[in-house]
Amino acid sequence: MRIPVYSALAGGLVAFAVCGTAAAKPAGMPQLDYHSFAPQLVWLVIAFVALYLVMSKLAVPAISDTLDKRQAKIQYDLDAAEKANEATRAQVAAYQKQLADAREEARGLLRGQAEADSGLAAARFTELADRLNGRIAEAEKRIAGQRDVVMAGLEQMASEIAQSAYAKLAGQPADASVLGTKVAAAAKETSR
Amino acid sequence: MHSPMEQFEIKRLLDLKIGGLDVSFTNSSLWMIIAVILATGVFVVGMRQRALVPGRLQSVAELGYEFIAGMVRDNVGDQGKKYFPFILTLFIFILFANVLGMVPYSFTPTSHIVVTFAMALFVFVGVTLIGFARHGLHFLSLFVPKGVPFVLLLLLVPIEIISYFIRPFSLSIRLFANMLAGHTMLKVFGGFVVMLGIIGGWAPLAFIVVFTGLELLIAFLQAYVFAILTCLYLNDSIHLHH
């Protein structure tokens, strides 16, 4: 316990002070002069009550009011800062979302363009191939027709050569129709 | 050579009597009034602007307020709010009286037992009345420690009662004796400086310089101790030992 320690200490100090006084001035300590008690107590009450009134009526309300106002101001500022912080965060989030959307859109556009490009190329390629095939087919048809003509001419020539050869060998003109069918048959066989 | 006790003499500056009661304005009264005026200066003039960002004087006033407000809150709790202005006044009055007593040729009202005892007795009677008003006769359970065998109670209850009634004495003598001893010591060593003169007086002079710093600390500390013990007594009355 602190109080007994303090009391002992205080008692010791008093004893010291009293002894010191007794040695210095036998008349005693001014503190023990009871004639001075009344004015001290009266003025203590006056001073203390005055200070109490000043403190309780003026100082304490003024200070507590100021402290409350300051606390309210600090709280208000903190709230405002918190709100601003949230707004900023929301804006940043919105901005980032926009950025991401734009990026996605750009990627989509690029992909669509590439697809369109490749489709067009394929279509052109097919068209070109068709045209080439058509020309090839046409050319083949023409070649086949010319070959037929050539072949027909060849048959005619072969039959004429056969007639003249038969006339020279047999000494008489050959039957043109019989010879013609035979040449045609031979021509067919060789062409196969 | 002056006596070291001469500084404590009450000098009547203005003889006044009201109906046989001696109400003379003395040097003690003068320094009490100066303390009140200075404290009013700090706490009322300092707070006049009620600035959100305080100036120097306002910071001092707020510091004192928050110091005692924290003390009351920590030691008494919410029920102590009612008594906060009183404890603040007590602290500020004792602090200003003590510190002003360090001014050369001034007077220290708190170096008189009658002044400190009057304050201590007021606190003692006050907390006792608050205790009875709050708890009625149950307040007497303050003297009965809990969870103690009956045989020991026969010993402990008288001790508790005695220690309770010693409170105003320990409270007042602590403050008075600290002021008395400090000022007497300074005066005695001041006497040594004069006695030893220019040759040997430097040693006690150096001691006085150091001791003046210590006395300023004690001036604050005793005001603090008086205020915090008042808080503790008040807490006992309100909460009956928790």
Q: Are B66 and A67 in contact (CB < 8 Å)?
A: yes
Which residues of A are less than 8 Å from B27 in CB distance? none
Residue A23 pLDDT:
47
pLDDT (tens digit per residue) in B163-193: 999 999 999 999 999 999 999 999 999 999 9
Q: Is residue B41 part of a domain?
A: yes
Q: What is the mean pLDDT of chain B?
A: 93
Q: Which of A63, A69, A73, A75 to mutate to test the interface with B (most CBs of B within 10 A)?
A: A63
**pLDDT band, residue A24 (cuts 50/70/90):** very low
DSSP string of A23-78, one letter each residue: HH-TT--GGG-GGGHHHHHHHHHHHHHHHHHIIIIIIHHHHHHHHHHHHHHHHHHH
Chain mean position to CA A23 = 93
> Does the pLDDT at position A21 exceed 80?
no
Please check whether residue B70 lies inside any domain of the structure: yes
Rounded Cα distance between A174 and A168, Å, is 10
Tens of pLDDT, residues B9-62? 899 998 888 888 899 999 999 999 999 999 999 999 999 888 888 889 999 999
* Domain interval for residue B45: 6-239
Is residue B152 situated within a structural domain? yes
B47 contacts A59? CB cut-off 8 A: yes
How close, in Å, is residue A81 to chain B by CA atoms? 19
All residues of chain B having their beta carbon less than 8 Å from the beta carbon of residue A38 are 21-23
Mean pLDDT in residue range B58-78: 94
Cα-based distances in Å from B4 to A18, A114, A179, B99, B230: 12, 109, 177, 19, 31
Is B151 within the bounds of a domain?
A: yes
Q: Is A33 an interface residue toward B (CB < 8 Å)?
A: yes
Per-residue model confidence (pLDDT) at position B50: 87
Q: Quick check: is B56 in a domain?
A: yes
User: B47 and A21: CB-CB below 8 Å?
Assistant: no
Residue B1 falls within a domain, yes or no?
Answer: no
Distance CA B111, CA B117 (A): 11
Helices in chain B by DSSP H: which ranges? 27-40, 56-75, 84-100, 113-135, 150-200, 202-239
Q: Residue B14's beta-bridge partner residues?
A: B25
What tokens does A168 get? 């020279």
Count up the domains in chain B and report the number: 1
At A44-62, the pLDDT tens digits run: 999 999 999 999 999 999 9
Mean pLDDT of B137-162: 90
- The pLDDT, as a whole number, for residue A25 is 44
- Dist CA A30 CA A33 (whole Å): 5
**CA-to-CA distance for B101 and B183, rounded, in angstroms?**
9
Residue contact B5–A30, C-beta within 8 A: yes
